[in-house]
Amino acid sequence: LAVIVGSGMIAQAIDYDNTLLKHAAWMTHAGLFGAMLAPLCFLGGPVLLRTAWYTAGIVAGC
């Protein structure tokens, strides 16, 4: 979790003028985030899917 937070902070700290590095940092951050969530999706099953639908409903309702 600390690696994901750190990669997000690094991606946000990079200046917009350096687009290639900023895009690479965001891709790395998204990849790390996906690597953390993928096992939860495979192992979580119905409970994780129900939680995802409830979260989507709450976010869409705002």
- Tell me how many domains the chain contains: 1
pLDDT tens for each residue of 22-56: 999 999 999 999 998 888 777 778 888 888 899 99
CA distance 62 to 23: 30
Containing domain of residue 46, as a range? 2-61
Per-residue pLDDT at 24? 97
Residues whose CB falls within 8 Å of the CB of residue 48, separated by 6 or more in sequence, listed in order: 40, 41
Q: Mean of the pLDDT values across residues 13-21?
A: 95
- pTM score, whole prediction: 0.66
Q: CB–CB of 32/14 below 8 Å?
A: no
